A and B are shown apart, each in its own frame.
Chain A
Amino acid sequence: MSEDVAPHTHFQYADARHQADSAIAGMWLFLATEVLFFGGLILTWIFCRHWQPEGFTAGAHETVLWIGTTNLALLLTSSFVYALGQAAIEVGRVRMLVWCCALTAGIGVVFIGLKLLEWHIDLDEHLWPAAARFKLEGGEAAGGRLFWVFYFVATALHAVHMAIGIVAVAWIALRARRGDFGAHWHTPVTVVGLYWSFVDMVWVVLYPLIYVVGRLT
């Protein structure tokens, strides 16, 4: 390994490329652990759905479809915008990257705002699963409550991931504005992009599970 290398390279790497590839590999591995994290949740969700289908169907009918769908569209758009920024920095267009990051983070904030509104509506409708007075009654109550447990755990965990993503994207925007990135070095942009797309993908899986499957039955 050579001793004189690009400024961002740690001493254990041969060159900037070696380091960049390792960082990207690290993010992929981290996402693998995230798949197992959400995967465990989704697996138990599907198991419980098979166990108590009526309750889960009834529970799913109470969800606010328009917010979920809007959020799905928002997130897909945000990943597209971020990808535009990434393509821009690969040819050295820093201002474009800054704008794309700002827009991505902005969409993320709108997502969380809508999510808060959705939770507010849910609570107003007595859908908090621990409440003494729960909206669903009779044979659907137990399964319905379980559905809403999963709903709140999953959406809360996803929102936490979103919040971390917004901070990361904003950080990329600030660094880009400071002139840290260029056509030949922009590893953090790629790494954060992987994370953001993953959080987006989680919603793509959660969306049918929450809003669609129950409505189709």
Chain B
Amino acid sequence: MSQTVTATRALSYLEDGKTLRSWLLTTDHKRIAILYALSITVFFFIGGSAAALIRYNLITPEGALRSAETYNRLFTMHGVIMVWFFLVPAAPVTIGNFVIPLMIGARDLAFPKINLMSWYLFMAGGACALYALFAGGVDTGWTFYAPLSSNYAQGHVVAVVAGIFISGFSTIATGLNFVVTIHRLRAPGLTWYRLPVFIWSFYATSVIFLLATPVLAITLVLLSFERIFHVGVFDPRIGGDPLLFQHMFWFYSHPAVYIMVLPGMGIVSQIIPCFSRKELFGYKFVVWCSIAIAVIGFFVWGHHMFVSGQSPYASIVFSLLSYFVAVPSAIKVFNWLGTMHKGRIHFNAPMIYALGFVGLFTSGGLTGLFLAALAADVHLHDTYFVIAHFHFIMVGGMVSAYFAALHFWWPKITGRMYPETIARGAALLMFLGFNFTFLPQYILGYLGMPRRYHSYPPEFQVLNVLSSAGASILAAAYALPLFYLTWSLFRGERAPRNPWRATGLEWTTDSPPITKNFLVTPTVTSGPYDYNDPHTKLADV
């Protein structure tokens, strides 16, 4: 553990300036994290509403909304908002932004003004996308496959694409900030192998931000050029190559899957040791698996294109590499289980969410292997099996991890404890509602129900109704934290510095931290998971 540093009570970052201006022009990473958290919560509920309407439509075989056109716009809106304005930025810009400097003993990120600029870029991009989606929407799906998106789709494709382009630069700015910060601003004694896995995971995520996002940007530039001027880059009818678009799109969008899930792995790697009162099992394996995932993740994009007509030899290589990328993910799962083995497990809300992450991520990951198999993919491609697979990872995995992090660091962020009992209930409800929603979709997909259709044969109705019923439970579970966390801001018990008796520099400073994080920069003399107190009973909070 590092030395405890603050002796006198200084103003917390929340009290340091009360005006709107002090928030909108802040360069404090903690305040920017709050700005981001509020914004992405709005996006989460907009994207969630679209999902609710999708599930409502699918209650009846002929489609309750009656209009395929409306349905297409709804699932596009759901995908665009959830992927680019929630999942990709969510954990890095909120949790990462808040916690990374605290964890490494820094007083801010390396470039505070760029951090603020990234939030404004995000809002500008979000405004563009929202304008387009509400002014009539787009019916291309979140993947914008050409030539549908460039020459056939109705609606505001260019505006949505511009929104994604702009918000892409906001994530590049965040990634750049994290990489420089982690390299340059670590406290004395905080060597690379003393860094929490959380830092390594966000570092790997940031590298993907930096190297993949620009390729998406240039792809979207070419797509917009084709759409505005009707020239053939991707449209085969006028001399383009549609597979070129898919290659470039997935060169970003597959690594983006790891952008979405690596932070979750970092989060649970903090939470599981803390609530098992045990050191993280196989620290170096977990660390290097994060890096391995980030590297291999760049070379598997072709597994989205097995049925597109790409060269079968390319498909074989992509299939093999996709199996390879599963290995480091599996190693991590075993490390988390190893950490819990013979640990003293406390089922606090963050731990329940983290366990949910491990279970659902494993299920989503294993079904990914089905899809990586060349022959099986022919049957499963573009069915609800794929939908269930990536929702298990993205929603079951990543959203659970996001809620885990929100609860785990809530005392640090707000200085208040959340109500534990109801939070545990919400965590369990979320797990239940999630499985209820998405398990039937595996079966639907295996039976052959294709994705992106507003109607389906009547024999699929029972499973679809089950899924929609589950979605309503899930919606309730997502709404709950909105209420009790807001309540806790005003009525919650005051949080001590370290309510979980967790290791890590962020727990040595005040809750909520002072503006400059640490009065005296801490010095680190030991590893990140020094839980040699197996019999400690956590304070009943």
Contact = CB atoms under 8 A, between A and B. Distances in A.
Contact of B180 (A26, A51, A129, A146): A26
A129 B214 contact: no
Nearest to B183: A25
Q: Is the interface of B mostly helix, strand, loop or mixed?
A: helix
B179 A33 contact: no
A21 interface: yes
A216 interface: no
B240 interface: yes
Interface in B334-391: none
B420 interface: no
A44 interface: yes
B241 A25 contact: no
**Tier of interface size on chain A:** 35 or more
A51 B222 CA distance: 18
A29 interface: yes
Interface in A2-58: 10-13, 18, 21-23, 25-26, 29-30, 32-34, 36-41, 44, 47-48, 51
Contacts of B225: 149, 152-153
A204 B7 CA distance: 58
Interface in B204-237: 210-215, 217-219, 221-222, 225-226, 229-233
B110 A146 contact: no
B239 interface: yes
Contacts of A51: 241
A76 B94 CA distance: 43
A12 B215 contact: no
Contact of A26 (B111, B212, B516): B111
B185 interface: yes
Given A10-B112, A22-B184, A40-B219, A33 B231 contact: no
B67 to A, nearest CB: 33
A10 B231 contact: no
B151 interface: no
Interface string A81-97: 00000000000000000
Contacts of A1: 521
A142 B231 CA distance: 10
Contacts of A41: 218, 221-222
Given A12-B101, A22-B180, A41-B218, A33 B106 contact: no
Interface residues of B, number: 43
Contact of A145 (B106, B221, B231, B521): B231
B108 A33 contact: no
Contact of B185 (A12, A33, A129, A149): A12
A205 interface: no
A157 interface: yes
B244 interface: yes
A40 B180 contact: no
A13 B226 CA distance: 46
A97 B107 CA distance: 34
Contacts of A22: 110-111, 180, 184-185
Contact of A40 (B110, B114, B215): B215
Interface centre among A21, A33, A142 (most CB of B within 10 A): A33
A130 interface: yes
A44 B243 CA distance: 11
Nearest to A128: B229
A152 B210 CA distance: 25
Interface in B225-277: 225-226, 229-233, 239-241, 244, 248, 251
Interface string A143-182: 1011001001100010000000000000000000000000
B176 interface: yes
B286 interface: no
A32 B112 CA distance: 20
Contact of A34 (B214, B231, B240): B214
A140 to B, nearest CB: 11
B184 A25 contact: yes
Contacts of B215: 36-37, 39-40
Contact of A33 (B213, B222, B521): B213
Interface in A177-212: none
A153 to B, nearest CB: 6
Given A40-B248, A130-B230, A33 B184 contact: no
B33 interface: no
B474 to A, nearest CB: 36
B93 interface: no
Contacts of B101: 12
Given A21-B184, A25-B180, A29-B176, 17 more contacts: A1-B521, A12-B112, A18-B184, A25-B183, A26-B114, A30-B176, A36-B212, A40-B214, A40-B215, A41-B222, A48-B244, A130-B229, A142-B232, A149-B222, A149-B226, A152-B225, A153-B221
18 contacts: A1-B521, A13-B185, A26-B177, A29-B176, A30-B176, A32-B210, A34-B214, A36-B210, A36-B211, A39-B214, A40-B215, A40-B219, A47-B244, A48-B244, A130-B229, A145-B239, A146-B239, A152-B225
Interface of B: 101, 106-112, 114, 172, 176-177, 179-180, 183-185, 210-215, 217-219, 221-222, 225-226, 229-233, 239-241, 244, 248, 251, 516, 521
Interface of A: 1, 10-13, 18, 21-23, 25-26, 29-30, 32-34, 36-41, 44, 47-48, 51, 129-130, 142-143, 145-146, 149, 152-153, 157
